[in-house]
Amino acid sequence: MTRVKVSPKGQIVIPSELRAKYKIQAGTELEVRESAGRLYLFPVLTDPVEQARGILKGGRSLTEAFLAGKVEAIKGEEQALVRRQTAGGLRVDGPEGSEGTENG
């Protein structure tokens, strides 16, 4: 735990290792919140979308993972349909509702 002193003007100095860790520079706006007798400092996000960009680096993108899951689900549905059709007794219609033949 690091201790800081409040200046006569109400200012404190945030230790350099914490400023570096949380990317706090001169001019960075901080929001001060109080809860349960404690003070908390939060950097104000001017553009939250831009500042959040890259926080999930190193892994597969969520969009790619979602689409891959959808592709696998469709393949599974197609395989299940083929199994049902080849099991016999299912009516298979051709294009535009033309009637096919009974399997079996």
C-alpha count within 13 angstroms, C-beta hemisphere, residue 38: 4
Q: Is 101 domain-assigned?
A: no
- Look-up of token digits 């597969």: 60
Q: Is 68 domain-assigned?
A: yes
Q: Is 102 domain-assigned?
A: no
Look up the domain containing 78 and give its range.
62-93
Number of domains in the chain: 2
CA distance 78 to 76: 5
47 shares a domain with 28: yes
Global pTM value: 0.42
67 shares a domain with 42: no
pLDDT tens column, 68-98: 889 999 998 988 888 888 876 555 565 655 5
Q: Is 10 domain-assigned?
A: no
